[in-house]
A and B are shown apart, each in its own frame.
Chain A
Amino acid sequence: MGNEETVFLSRVLTELTLSFHIIYATIGVGIPLMIMIAQWVGIKKNDEHYILLARRWTRGFVITVAVGVVTGTAIGLQLSLLWPNFMELAGNTIALPLFLETFAFFFEAIFLGIYIYTWDRFENQKKHLLLLIPVALGASFSAIFITIVNAFMNAPQGFDLVNGELVNVSPLLAMFNPAMPTKVAHVVVTAYMTSAFVLASIGAFRLLKGSNHVYHQKALFLTMKLGLIFSIATTVLGDFSGKYLAEYQPEKLAAAEWHFETEKGAPLILYGVLDDGEVKYAIKIPFGLSFLAHSNLNAEVIGLDQFNKADVPPLYIHYLFDLMVTIGMWLTALSLVYVFGTWRKWRFILAKWFNWLMVLGGPLAIIAIEAGWWLDEVGRQPWILRGIMRTKDAATTSGQVDTMLWLFAGLYLLLGIGSVFVLWRMFRSNPVEQELADRAADKAGDTK
């Protein structure tokens, strides 16, 4: 196997693992917060429904966490196995947040074990809720630390290379790199947003299929409200991310926006296709890009003409950008209409077709997460560590990457099918009406 082929296969395997892992990771970061909110609302309002909601979410959540642990271990090891040269450099410069992430995860794993096996152990629900705080904190901090490593890959700092030797290493400076604030905030908030829409999908689906129980209505309204809050936050943070790119990674912004020539008052190009270097069928918003990048309609935005061809990412990332932003905007609008409509008692939000739109919200949010990560990773090419190390110089020289690719593809297929099947089965058996009745019977039995 030639070196070029090995690099390509290593990229495919990494992309496959990350694309699969990110689904479980995103849900894993967001859902503990959702469970926490539901349980808290339940305690506050003294409403059994919300508590049961938290409990039922937990049951599904542990399954996704277990799969996430597996895929997380896989990506953790694959980084060293497929990119040994990069990890040697990374070990010297950005090992601190990687190390901290294991602590955050450790913390989360311990308390999750305690949380799921202590329902009903405490008389006071509040005590049980307390156990969830370290889970939610650990999950979010895992995301924060890992995203810091990714931010470092985009905007490395905190060390100097003198004649190929690493000197002046500062782990903290490396952690607090310019890409870190926007990236971390964006990743964490979109994880909350996605989790809210995924849970809303479940509620909406139940309402469509047979059950009009108030439990599902409460679940749907709560999650759509949370979805709205986090999607508004995402919009704001997306704007900051654009400004960060304009300042520190102009080639990524220019490639994502198909901005070829440096100019003042640059327009924003939405959608369209690229045909022989010419943009067709696009929507052009005059001055849009200048405003997005610098909050100034006449500001100059650096175009691709300023860069060496060898240093520019592939231009198809524009489609990924469009996909991500469109879904984000759509979900913001959808949740806004639903929440507002519920207050104003609009009839059409109860219609079947509107429910179907909400069912679609969860899968769409996941697609947006995937598109966002592909945009981030492909948009950093040809670098693995921007400006320092090229992807092609970082890969393993092992000749067995192709076999491993097949093995892992098979594994993810099985895990994917397994988790969908098990979650689906769990969802179908034990409907909420049954469980509420059982619990009421239990209680009656206790007081006798």
Chain B
Amino acid sequence: MTLEILGITVLGVFLFGYIIVASIDFGAGFFNAFSTLTGKGHILTKVIQRYLSPVWEVTNVFLVFFFVGIVGFFPKTAYYYGSTLLVPASIAIILLAIRGAYYAFTTYGGLKHKRYTILYGLTGLFIPASLSIVLTISEGGFVTMKDSGPVLDYWALFTSPLSWSIVVLSLTSVLYISAVFLTWYAQKAKDRQAANLLRKYALVWAVPAIITAAGIIVEMKNHNPEHYERLVDVWWLFGLSLILFAGTVYLLWQRIAYGLAFWLLVGQFTLAFLAYGISHYPYLMYPYLTIYDSFTNQAMATALVIAFIAGLCLLLPSLYLLLRLFLFNKAYVQGDRDDHA
């Protein structure tokens, strides 16, 4: 394995981690707001707050980790993406800030109002939409090289069917991932009412999620034939992913083994993410930037890999502790304990 592959794998792991934990977080916020609006707030709010409160900062770190890491391993991305993403990334920061402010002022500060809950819920949809633009740009065709540097063509971006399909995919998968996880969590909390409602949401969003995912592969044929060819090459990974998807839906339908259903979903997204990543190789941005010509020097790469391994030795036990205390702790999940400062 070359250092380049190792580097992109490390970043891929964190990006994938972010996609899963952030989806749960974003979707939870949305369902919370939605159920408040439709008068079902009492069913969901408690279980959602229980899960979200202790872990949201950790969610955010996955993202920070990814963008700091990518500049470390592939410094040229700072030049190409930094110059072009000013507006979309700034919007994403502001939306993330609204989310953070909600935790700060409402969860910790006790400032409660329906308006904030709704605003917070909406950011859960807008953040993935704005972040998904990065994926669209990486497919090429939206950035041109001028004398002054790379420039993003907003018109092309906003009129491209590909970019809108990716936005829709990000939304449907956020809601799907979140609903499946929360169904499991609610069941662990022995909150049957919430589990039933969330199960319904999960089933509702399953079909749109899979349809948009398939739709993007079709879009790719027009937009980036090179990438499309490579996507087709790894069809079997997508096939396996589809089987796991069917498994999750079956279990939810039958109301059995919600835990297994969630892990099948993680497997489904892992395979799809892997297939997408492999087919994207070696480009970071078609056609200007590959992982090879943007890679950092050997000394820095080695140092970063060592730091990563050392850091992981510190983080994995800590993450395990966090999960054990809140996610897999019966008394906490079922609401018998509060213990907040």
Contact = CB atoms under 8 A, between A and B. Distances in A.
Contacts of B220: none
Contacts of A71: 97
A397 B150 CA distance: 9
Contact of A96 (B83, B97, B300, B326): B300
Contacts of A98: 68, 71-72
A178 to B, nearest CB: 20
Nearest to B50: A117
B203 interface: no
Of B60, B78, B89, most buried by chain A (CB within 10 Å of CB) is B78
Of A76, A91, A101, A422, most buried by chain B (CB within 10 Å of CB) is A91
A72 B326 CA distance: 26
A67 B86 contact: no
B64 interface: yes
Contacts of B85: 81
A102 B96 CA distance: 17
Nearest to A426: B109
A95 B65 CA distance: 12
A70 B341 contact: no
Nearest to A401: B86
Interface in A80-127: 80-85, 87-93, 95-96, 98-103, 105-107, 109-121
A74 interface: yes
A366 B106 CA distance: 26
B97 A172 contact: no
Contacts of A415: 97, 101
A407 B92 CA distance: 12
B311 interface: yes
Interface in A55-85: 55, 58-59, 62-63, 65-67, 69-74, 76-78, 80-85
Nearest to A10: B86
Of B55, B71, B83, B149, most buried by chain A (CB within 10 Å of CB) is B71
B280 interface: no
B218 to A, nearest CB: 33
B315 to A, nearest CB: 6
Given A80-B81, A398-B86, A110 B319 contact: yes
Given A119-B340, A408-B94, A109 B57 contact: yes
A422 B109 CA distance: 6
A303 interface: no
A423 to B, nearest CB: 8
A114 B100 contact: no
Given A113-B322, A411-B97, A92 B75 contact: yes
B75 A59 contact: no
Interface in B308-341: 308, 311, 314-315, 318-319, 321-322, 325-326, 332, 337, 339-341
B104 interface: yes
B69 interface: yes
B108 A62 contact: yes
A171 B303 contact: yes
Given A106-B315, A169-B297, A119 B341 contact: yes
A172 to B, nearest CB: 7
Contact of A77 (B74, B93, B151, B318): B93
B90 A95 contact: no
A166 B86 CA distance: 27
Interface string B295-308: 01101100110011
B53 interface: yes
B67 interface: yes
Interface in B56-114: 57-58, 60-61, 63-65, 67-69, 71-76, 78-87, 89-90, 93-94, 96-97, 100-101, 103-105, 108-111
Contacts of A81: 82, 85-86, 89-90
A100 B69 CA distance: 10
A425 interface: yes
A170 interface: yes
Contacts of A422: 104-105, 109-111
Given A62-B108, A99-B307, A117-B340, A105 B64 contact: yes
A418 interface: yes
A396 interface: yes
A151 B321 CA distance: 35
Contacts of A96: 72, 300, 303-304, 307
Contact of A425 (B53, B109, B319, B341): B109
Contacts of A295: none
A66 B108 contact: yes
A8 to B, nearest CB: 16
A116 B103 CA distance: 14
B90 A80 contact: no
B71 A66 contact: no
Interface in A242-300: none
Given A119-B339, A422-B109, A171 B57 contact: no
A400 interface: yes
B58 A113 contact: yes
Nearest to A86: B78
B148 interface: yes
Given A109-B58, A114-B322, A84 B100 contact: no
B341 A87 contact: no
Of B53, B105, B149, B322, most buried by chain A (CB within 10 Å of CB) is B105
A136 B220 CA distance: 48
Nearest to B99: A70
Contacts of A110: 58, 315, 318-319, 321-322
B161 interface: no
A414 B58 CA distance: 24
14 contacts: A58-B341, A62-B104, A63-B104, A70-B96, A71-B97, A78-B93, A96-B307, A110-B319, A113-B326, A117-B325, A119-B341, A169-B297, A400-B86, A419-B104
Interface of A: 3, 55, 58-59, 62-63, 65-67, 69-74, 76-78, 80-85, 87-93, 95-96, 98-103, 105-107, 109-121, 134, 166, 169-172, 396-398, 400-401, 403-404, 407-408, 411, 414-415, 418-419, 421-423, 425-426
